[in-house]
């Protein structure tokens, strides 16, 4: 299957200090932590859309995320994600993490029309019953585990109009009917300090896991 989009999201234990200037000011002037009841709203988040790179960087109080719409290979994705987070890390220390996720979208062009592809899914994945027979569309979701990480794997037939809506940077050369695969690979640790090595290894594991799932899915759907 072809990789179409990658999102890496770091969800923080507390809002980034960058978005809490009043608390920082209070703390540096008084040497005390601002009482809980006095804490202010963080400043609004920041989003950077980088057209030529088909890339979006989001830094908001709760999370830091990178979206890649140009994904020629896994190495490129990891390289760009790491470079972006390294750059953000030079600007602000990232708080402890409560969730770390890498989500990827994959497609495989179908040689049949949408209705036929839905029928193929019914035939291969489900036992015949009245609900299956009457359904006009199918989405299958599984939650899998991979060592300490979890993966939500969703797939199904998809038409071009829906596919375009799923992508942040839709290409003009997308097929009319595809098998769509969405792999959300994540870790929900006790608040954990983020390091470059950990982030690199996680992104690498997540994308390789997703690629393996995409190969498995295509093998299942090929009826072999």
Partner 1 sequence: MVPIAPVEAEHRLFPDTQLFARYVKLDPTVWAPKLYWRGRSREETEETISNRQRIVSFDIDTIALPTATDRWSVSLPEHPETTFDDLRAGKWPKPTEEEIDARCKAIELARGIRTQLDIKPLTTSIIIRQLREGSERT
Provide the sign of the torsion angle of the four alpha carbons 109, 163, 182, 131, taken in this order.
negative
Using CB under 8 A as the binding rule, whether residue 113 contacts partner 1 is answered as no
Q: CA 159 to CA 110: how far, in whole Å? A: 10
Nearer to partner 1, 79 or 219 (CB): 79
Query: How many other β-carbons are positioned within 10 Å of the β-carbon of residue 56?
Result: 17
From 18, 106, 149, 155, residue interacting with partner 1 (rule: CB under 8 A) = 155
State the angle between helix axes of 114-125 and 196-221 in degrees (0 to 180), rounded to the nearest 10.
Answer: 90
From 33, 47, 116, 123, residue interacting with partner 1 (rule: CB under 8 A) = 47
Q: CA 148 to CA 159: how far, in whole Å? A: 34
Closest CA to 156 of 142, 169, 170: 142
Residues 172-191 that bind partner 1 (CB under 8 A): 180, 184-186, 188
From 158, 177, 203, 217, residue interacting with partner 1 (rule: CB under 8 A) = 158
Q: Contact positions toward partner 1, by CB under 8 A?
A: 7-9, 11, 13-15, 22, 38-53, 55-56, 58, 60-63, 65-67, 72-73, 75-76, 79-80, 83-84, 86-87, 98-99, 101-103, 137-139, 141, 152, 154-158, 162, 168, 180, 184-186, 188
């Amino acid at each position: 299957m072809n990789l179409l989009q990658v999102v890496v999201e770091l969800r923080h234990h507390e809002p980034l200090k960058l978005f809490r200037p009043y608390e920082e000011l209070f703390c540096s002037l008084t040497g005390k932590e601002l009482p809980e009841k006095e804490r202010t709203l963080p400043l609004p988040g920041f989003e950077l859309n980088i057209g030529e790179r088909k890339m979006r960087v989001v830094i908001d109080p709760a999370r830091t995320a990178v979206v890649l719409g140009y994904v020629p290979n896994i190495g490129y994705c990891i390289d760009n994600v790491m470079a972006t987070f390294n750059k953000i890390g030079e600007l602000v220390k990232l708080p402890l993490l409560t969730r770390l996720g890498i989500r990827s979208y994959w497609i495989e062009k179908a040689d049949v029309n949408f209705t036929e592809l839905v029928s193929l899914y019914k035939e291969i994945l489900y036992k015949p019953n009245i609900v299956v027979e009457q359904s006009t569309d199918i989405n299958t979701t599984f939650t899998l585990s991979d060592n300490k990480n979890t993966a939500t794997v969703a797939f199904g037939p998809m038409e071009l109009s829906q596919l375009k809506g799923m992508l942040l940077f839709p290409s003009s050369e997308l097929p009319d009917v595809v098998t769509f695969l969405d792999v959300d690979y994540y870790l929900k640790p006790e608040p954990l300090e983020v390091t470059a090595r950990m982030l690199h290894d996680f992104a690498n594991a997540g994308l390789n896991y997703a690629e393996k799932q995409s190969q498995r899915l295509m093998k299942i759907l090929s009826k072999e």
